[in-house]
Amino acid sequence: MKKIIVFIFVCALPFTFFSQDNSAFIKNDSIDALLKASSDLKAKNNMYEALEKAFKAVDYAHKLKNDYYISYSYFMMGIIQYEIIDYENAKKHLLKSLEYTKQAKEKKLLPYILHNLANIYYDNNELENAVVFYKRAIELGKQNPETGYQTPLNSLIWTYMDLNRYDQAAIHLKESDSIDQFVPDSIEANKSSLYMLKGRNYAHLGDIEKAEKSYEEALKILERQPYWPKGKSYLYQYRSEMYEDIGEYAKAVVDLKLLQENDRKVFENAKLKNTEIAKIRFEVDEYERKLEVSEREKSLLQDIAKNNKIIIYISLAGLVLLIGAVFFYYKSYESKKKSSKILESKNIELNEAKSQAEKLSKVRSKFISTVSHELRTPLYGVVGISSLLLENNTSKNDKKLLNSLKFSADYLLDLVNKVLKISKIDAEQTDLIKTPTNLCSLSQNILQSFEYQSEKKENELLFDYNKNIPNQLDIDALRISEILINLIGNAIKFTSKGKIWLRIKLLSITSKTVCIRYEIEDTGIGIPDDQKDYIFEEFSQAGTVYDNKQGTGLGLSIVKNLLEMMDSKIHFESKKGVGSKFYFNLDLEISENADITDNNIDSQESSNTISANILVAEDNKINQLVTKNLLKLIGCDCVMVENGFEAVEALKRQSFDLVLMDINMPVLDGMQATIKIRKFDDTTPIIALTASELSEVQDECLNAGMNDLLNKPLNKINLKAAILKNLALRNPQTGT
């Protein structure tokens, strides 16, 4: 049905309807004449020449920059390409026509464009999309009586019947039947399609007599007009199906034969078009390519002309500015001479001030660095000795105290490390310092450090940890410690004779990353609803119920700011008199040594002890004591020397399996000692021991000939892992 409707639209549009008073003509061919010729050629089935005329109309319309004619020319191209079954290009040009119609003042072409787009959707079996466009075309047709709307209305009815939605089709069929039939004979196909739709509807309702009469009326009209040869095929098909449904097979067979004969004629006619269609499609592509090149050349020439004008204007402006600059320079020369001496003296003062500021900055940095380094030494002793004591058989109460002591020392040591690093970067930098961290141990230690405060308030501390979380994750341990300390401290502060939970949940995990959730929940007094919006503000405590609690009101504000640095947010749930739960999510990277778990280390200690003779170069007595005892715990013998010179001499006298070399030592430092050792021994692994940031000294250590680096303070796990790794690299065949 759709093919005849496309043709009806073209024939129904008088070309004077599209002409405008200010239309421009190019030689003897006006756009109106080209479009009229294209329509006539299409009616005569001369598609190639019809499309050629439409192309010329597009070209002329573009030259005139007339949106109205551009839209109509693209519309003509689209319906011709639809006729030759080039649906893709037909849709493209109809959409272009739609775009230019929206820009033009005259909108009467709009319902025709929408109807033809609907036809394309119909033929592509996108019936629901076709319904949407038919409805829009009908709506616009009703707004303008000149365009009419019976044709898209019949198309909508036809589509509803194809969708087996006869109830909706029947409503619109009554409307179509009531429309005045005083239309040109060229649109007589509307009548034939209406009768055919009536026949389909009567057949569906079982009124065969009325259906036969409707089909006969449709056939009479189809016999009179040649525009819709496929229409007879539709009629024979639907009537044959009707006869088959009621059991009149003889009549059904007759209609099937008539259908075959008519389809053969339609096919023969279409076959004659195939060569011409292929030629047309090729010409279409070639023409559009040339049109695109022409548009680009035109645009380029316009840009060049525009740029030439700009260059002229800029040159004139530049000349004016040059003259003004010369005049200004002449006038200002005298004043500059007078001010030059003043500027010179000011520059001297500024340079002196800058020099003084740089000197003060260096003194400040050196002071912070020196104090930080000096603080690390006793803290290293506290961490190391508490670690050694934990290895001994101590009572449960003593072990709790030692764990709290070690955690506090670790936390303070980490804080000193951050101060040392901050002293070497700009104060405005807030980069996170991520290190491989065991979240389970860190979180458990933090929770245990609150046991004394919790017992005073008769609270119970509970810890829940998902064992599928990798042991080693890259995280800023200081930041997460500050967050947990603030949240757990708040929970204890506002809870009495209750419970406090610290939970670490696994949300998702990949081979390289993990997403976890921290939850801190208490059974405390809760937060009133009217105070929930203010608890994260600085110096804020929610309501008078907290007036007897100590605190600055900074804790939750600090937590909020720290989590924002870590690309996370703090959330909470609270009910007054029931308790509160604070939680946040963290996306973390899994450390490269994440497979080294505490259980793995324990199994290595029991099943794979290290038997090695190690030289330790360390000038600090406390560090010597700690390192010696750590080596003893992992099964190693060691020889202790106090400076680099003694280390060189010891290696000349005796061979060792591995060397632990402190970098900063008197007499001869670790770097120079390593350089001297490598002159006569290039096989013994040397591991640097340093209190500095590894990134600051790594290149220098490796260039000196060292194999690896360890950060102070040492712990048994990292020390053993480093020794095993470097011994394995030295003796890969032994696996040790």
pLDDT above 50 for 429:
no
Which segment of 358-367, 499-508, 654-663, 679-688 scores lowest on mean pLDDT? 358-367
Q: What pLDDT band is residue 186 in, cutting at 50, 70 and 90?
A: very low
Q: What is the arithmetic mean of pLDDT over 584-592?
A: 92
Which segment of 185-189, 396-400, 496-500, 647-651 scores lowest on mean pLDDT? 185-189
3-state secondary structure of 662: strand
Q: Which residue has the tokens 């099964």?
A: 635
591 with 474: CB under 8 angstroms?
A: yes
Q: What pLDDT band is residue 686 in, cutting at 50, 70 and 90?
A: very high
Query: What percent of the chain shows pLDDT beyond 90?
Result: 33
pLDDT at 48: 80
Query: Where does 19-81 show beta strands of DSSP type E?
Result: none
Please provide the average confidence, as pLDDT, over all residues in the chain.
80
* Residue at 592: amino acid letter: E
pLDDT at 52: 86
pLDDT above 60 for 655:
yes
Q: 410 or 61: whose pLDDT is higher?
A: 61
pLDDT above 60 for 146:
yes
Q: What pLDDT band is residue 555 in, cutting at 50, 70 and 90?
A: low
Question: pLDDT tens digit string along 697-710?
Answer: 889 999 999 999 99
* Residue 489 to residues 98, 310, 381, 540, Cα–Cα distance (Å): 68, 69, 28, 16
Q: 710 or 598: whose pLDDT is higher?
A: 710
Q: 294 or 500: whose pLDDT is higher?
A: 500
- Whether the ω angle into residue 713 lies within 30 degrees of 0, i.e. cis, is yes
* Residue at 714: amino acid letter: L
pLDDT above 90 for 501:
yes
Diameter over CA atoms, the chain: 123
Q: What is the arithmetic mean of pLDDT over 522-531?
A: 87
pLDDT above 80 for 465:
yes
Q: For residue 659, give the H/E element and its range.
A: strand 658-662
d(CA 412, CA 402): 15
Which segment of 32-41, 241-250, 324-333 scores lowest on mean pLDDT? 324-333
Domains of the chain: 1-19+31-163 (1.25.40.10), 180-282 (1.25.40), 435-590 (3.30.565.10), 598-730 (3.40.50.2300)
pLDDT at 427: 43
pLDDT at 280: 62
pLDDT at 340: 75
d(CA 165, CA 176): 17
Nearest to 4 by CA among 238, 272, 266, 217: 266
Tokens of 193: 């399609």
Q: CA dihedral in degrees (633, 638, 644, 650; nearest 10)?
A: -170
Question: pLDDT tens digit string along 324-341?
Answer: 877 777 777 777 777 777
Which segment of 153-157, 310-314, 690-694 scores lowest on mean pLDDT? 690-694
Q: For residue 265, give the H/E element and its range.
A: helix 249-391
3-state secondary structure of 489: helix
Q: What is the arithmetic mean of pLDDT over 681-693?
A: 89
DSSP letter assigned to residue 714: P
pLDDT above 80 for 144:
no
Tokens of 287: 């023409």
pLDDT at 592: 76
DSSP letter assigned to residue 485: H
Nearest to 559 by CA among 520, 589, 604: 520
Q: What is the arithmetic mean of pLDDT over 20-44?
A: 68
Highest mean pLDDT among 124-128, 372-376, 691-695 belongs to 124-128
458-485 burial, b for 16+ CB within 10 Å, e for fewer?
ebebeeebeeebbbbbbbbbbbbbbbbb
Query: Where does 416-481 show beta strands of DSSP type E?
Result: 435-438, 460-465, 472-475
pLDDT above 90 for 40:
no
Q: What is the arithmetic mean of pLDDT over 600-615?
A: 63
Q: What pLDDT band is residue 544 in, cutting at 50, 70 and 90?
A: very low
Question: pLDDT tens digit string along 206-243?
Answer: 999 999 999 999 999 888 876 677 888 889 999 999 99
pLDDT above 70 for 54:
yes
pLDDT at 239: 94
Question: pLDDT tens digit string along 10-28?
Answer: 444 544 444 444 444 444 3
Q: 20 has which bridge partners?
A: none
pLDDT above 60 for 165:
yes
Highest mean pLDDT among 448-457, 666-675, 713-722 belongs to 666-675
3-state secondary structure of 498: coil
pLDDT above 60 for 545:
no
Query: Where does 449-544 show beta strands of DSSP type E?
Result: 460-465, 472-475, 499-509, 513-522
Q: 532 or 178: whose pLDDT is higher?
A: 178
674 with 629: CB under 8 angstroms?
A: no
If one counts every other C-beta atom within 10 angstroms of the C-beta of residue 725, the result is: 15
pLDDT at 209: 94
Question: pLDDT tens digit string along 339-366?
Answer: 777 877 777 877 777 777 666 666 665 5
Query: Where does 327-454 show beta strands of DSSP type E?
Result: 435-438
3-state secondary structure of 522: strand
Q: 506 has which bridge partners?
A: 516
* Residue at 428: amino acid letter: E
513-545 burial, b for 16+ CB within 10 Å, e for fewer?
ebebebbbbbbbbbbbeebeeebbeeeebbeee
Q: What is the DSSP string of 581-646?
A: EEEEEEEEEEPTTTT--HHHHHHHHHHS----EEEEE---HHHHHHHHHHHHHTT-EEEEESSHHH
pLDDT at 333: 74
The three-state DSSP-derived secondary structure of 232-250 is: HHHHHHHHHHHHHHHCCHH
Q: What is the arithmetic mean of pLDDT over 145-173?
A: 88
* Alpha carbon 11 to chain centroid, angstroms: 52
3-state secondary structure of 106: coil
Q: What pLDDT band is residue 589 in, cutting at 50, 70 and 90?
A: very high
Predicted TM-score of the model (pTM): 0.40
Q: What is the arithmetic mean of pLDDT over 408-415?
A: 67
